Amino acid sequence: MPLAVRTVVRGRDRLSPPRRLALTVLVLCQALFLVHWAAFWPALYSPDSFTYVWQVSTGNWVSDHSIAYDSLVWLSLRVTGNLWLLTLLQTVFASVLMADTAVSLHRIGVRARWTVAASAIVVLLPSTGTFFVFVWKDVPYVLGAVLVFSGCVRLAGLGADRTVARPALWRITVGFAAVLVFRNNGYPAIVVVVAGILLLVPGVRLRILVAGVSTTLIALLLTLVVYPSVGVRLPHKDAVIGLNVADIAVSYKESPSSFSSADLAVMEAVAPLSHWRGRAANCWDADWAMAKPMNRPAVTANSSALLSLWTRVLLRTPQDIVGARLCRAQIAWGVTQGPAALAGSTNVKVPWVTPSMMRWTYDHANWSYHGTRITQSPYWRVLQKQHPLSDRLNRLERTYSTRSTAVSTQWIVWRGAIWCYLCYALVLRLARVRRGKVWLVLLLPTLSLQLTVIAANPAQIWRYMTGPLVIGVLALPLATLTRSRDRAFAERLPPAPGVEHHAPPEHEIIAAGQAGG
């Protein structure tokens, strides 16, 4: 064996088992991520990606997207003239967080081999592996959710000893911050996780409450004070109330007799009634409601009247609003997709730039902000096509991704709902096996993301449920935890005073895991 290889092997053997596991997962995941990165260098794009670049390169900083992520886009462009640095760092952070999650699961008794396998599956799946190469604010948002999950795993594994909760709480707090600053609608997710921990983990109630409140206040301060003070503009109201407009359209179709002449006058000020009861009333996709002949500048001018109308509709026919929201959020709870003719099919982003994306982005820049055209961005040419580091890899990856989008495989590869239900089943089983409700904290990150999408979602877009998909795959090794395995762990060590054998605390699980490999 060469000297260099022997040195690396000896160095790895000197590491403690948790650190050895972390290094294994980190190296494996990053190596697999580099294949995606090389195949789609410098990045994978969506229409939102073009919008970010246009905003930061033409002085049109608008808070409809994440200003924190826009800043990362700006930094990558300024440093490299491209976006490869941003996407590379996204894969590095993803590898680090999967390594951390693997160690967290190992600490509660999962064998290292299963955590390594689950981490590799995340990178190998086209829906999650290529996701981290996209220029999307959803990427750090999902990474924040994964960090919260890792923290919840550690928190549940503390057993009777709450004095070592600090590492778990720091993970949850940093995860909260990422969820809040990288998506404007992350607040409900934080509320769900904080409320769940308050109910399930008495020893950390004050600290988790402080974590939730402080990160929320910081996010609000950035949005309401800091960003406007440095020249960031608020989004046009037509973009803000799009879901409300779509709700009104669905209600008008379902309960037309409930609308007064005054209500109809408000609606006709922005679009003909034929649009309101026709294409706009499609509950599967809010973009249909906001498309022409909807007059978006008129929507902005009449936003107050439209919001008042929405409130009246909510009070008199709440079932219409609830039905519209559930229909539009089917991507969050439905295992199979809706009718394709009504835009109910899973909206999967293909891993290349399409002509329709270019046209959509060009139009989007014009109608949304009425300012500098995206074609005037100095980076416009950079975005128009990919320059893969390997054409062969690019062809293989494109074929692999597109073949996985068939209807027969979408439910398991691209839709997060099935992974939500699987995660819930695994966590409930674990709580039953270990006879402790504290283990239910493991389902909180997934539940919070799913409920957030159900509450407000514009269309059947796969990326909105990528977080539950990633967490669901990482949670698969929980299926290997059994009472007999717990007993085997406990038998290898002297019993800890005051601790029941069926739910060994974290320090016993770690030691037993090290003994058993």
Same domain, 242 and 185: no
Q: Which of 309, 328, 347 is the last residue of a domain?
A: 328
- Contact yes or no for 474/108 (Cβ under 8 A): no
- Contact yes or no for 148/171 (Cβ under 8 A): yes
Q: Which of 310, 328, 275 is nearest to 454 (CA)?
A: 328
**What pLDDT does 237 receive?**
86
Would residue 439 count as lying in a domain?
yes
Would residue 448 count as lying in a domain?
yes
**What pLDDT does 498 receive?**
41
**What pLDDT does 362 receive?**
55
Burial, 432: exposed, middle or buried (Cβ in 10 Å; 0-12, 13-18, 19+)?
Answer: exposed
Same domain, 25 and 136: yes
d(CA 202, CA 429): 22
Same domain, 102 and 245: no
Q: Which of 435, 377, 411, 429 is nearest to 81 (CA)?
A: 377
For the ranges 49-53, 292-296, 347-351, 454-458, the lowest mean pLDDT is seen at 347-351
- 274: which 2 tokens? 């034929």
Find the mean pLDDT for residues 118-141: 96
d(CA 458, CA 332): 11
- 500: which 2 tokens? 């029941």
Residue 517 has pLDDT above 50, yes or no: no
d(CA 308, CA 313): 9
**What pLDDT does 358 receive?**
61
Q: What percent of the chain has pLDDT over 70?
A: 85
Would residue 460 count as lying in a domain?
no
End-to-end C-alpha distance for the chain, whole angstroms:
25
Residue 47 has pLDDT above 70, yes or no: yes
Residue 334 has pLDDT above 70, yes or no: yes
Find the mean pLDDT for residues 256-279: 96
- pTM exceeds 0.75: yes
Q: Which of 328, 356, 381 is the last residue of a domain?
A: 328
Identify the top-confidence range among 136-145, 288-297, 382-391, 399-408. 136-145
- Contact yes or no for 425/447 (Cβ under 8 A): no
**What pLDDT does 235 receive?**
85
Same domain, 138 and 51: yes
Residue 383 has pLDDT above 80, yes or no: no
Residue 41's pLDDT band, with cuts at 50, 70 and 90, is very high
Q: Which of 328, 359, 374 is the last residue of a domain?
A: 328
Residue 11 has pLDDT above 90, yes or no: no
- 353: which 2 tokens? 């730039």
What is the total count of domains within the chain? Answer: 2
Residue 218 has pLDDT above 80, yes or no: yes
49-102 pLDDT tens trace: 888 998 899 888 999 899 999 999 999 999 999 999 999 999 999 999 999 999
In angstroms and rounded to an integer, the radius of gyration of the C-alpha atoms of the chain is: 24
Find the mean pLDDT for residues 306-314: 97
Q: Is residue 370 left, alpha or beta, with left meaning phi > 0 and alpha meaning psi from -120 to 50? A: left
- Contact yes or no for 505/159 (Cβ under 8 A): yes
400-436 pLDDT tens trace: 999 999 988 999 999 999 999 999 999 999 999 999 9
* Helices marked H in 336-475: 355-369, 380-383, 391-403, 407-413, 417-434, 444-455, 466-474
Find the mean pLDDT for residues 200-215: 95
431-442 pLDDT tens trace: 999 999 999 999
Total Cβ atoms within 10 A of residue 191: 15
**What pLDDT does 372 receive?**
57
- Contact yes or no for 130/91 (Cβ under 8 A): no
Residue 10's pLDDT band, with cuts at 50, 70 and 90, is low
Find the mean pLDDT for residues 128-139: 96
Would residue 24 count as lying in a domain?
yes
Total Cβ atoms within 10 A of residue 415: 26
Same domain, 192 and 64: yes
- Tell me the pLDDT of the chain averaged across its residues: 88
**What pLDDT does 489 receive?**
52
Same domain, 94 and 159: yes
Would residue 368 count as lying in a domain?
no
Residue 131 has pLDDT above 70, yes or no: yes
Same domain, 421 and 403: yes
Find the mean pLDDT for residues 489-509: 45
Alpha carbon separation from 500 to 111, 160, 487, 514 (Å, rounded): 21, 9, 11, 20
**What pLDDT does 490 receive?**
52
Same domain, 224 and 241: no
Find the mean pLDDT for residues 174-199: 96
Residue 163's pLDDT band, with cuts at 50, 70 and 90, is low
Find the mean pLDDT for residues 234-259: 93
Same domain, 171 and 245: no
DSSP 496: P
Would residue 491 count as lying in a domain?
no
Same domain, 423 and 300: no
Same domain, 242 and 211: no
- Contact yes or no for 63/223 (Cβ under 8 A): yes
Same domain, 224 and 257: no
d(CA 130, CA 124): 9
Q: Among positive and negative, which fits the CA dihedral 367, 370, 371, 376? A: positive
Beta partners for residue 347, in sequence order = 461
**What pLDDT does 360 receive?**
57
Helix axis angle for 242-254 and 318-328, nearest 10°, is 120
**What pLDDT does 370 receive?**
45
Would residue 313 count as lying in a domain?
yes
SS (H, E, C) 17-68: HHHHHHHHHHHHHHHHHHHHHHHCCCCECCHHHHHHHHHHHCCCCECCCCHH
For the ranges 81-90, 253-262, 263-272, 370-379, the lowest mean pLDDT is seen at 370-379
**What pLDDT does 14 receive?**
73
**What pLDDT does 376 receive?**
74
Beta partners for residue 134, in sequence order = 44
Q: How many CA atoms lie within 13 A of 135 on its CB side?
A: 31
Total Cβ atoms within 10 A of residue 184: 17
Question: One-letter amino acid identity for 320?
Answer: D
* CA 300 remoteness from chain centre: 29
Q: Is residue 66 left, alpha or beta, with left meaning phi > 0 and alpha meaning psi from -120 to 50? A: beta
Please give the residue range of the domain that contains residue 275.
237-328
**What pLDDT does 486 receive?**
67
Residue 190 has pLDDT above 70, yes or no: yes
Would residue 370 count as lying in a domain?
no
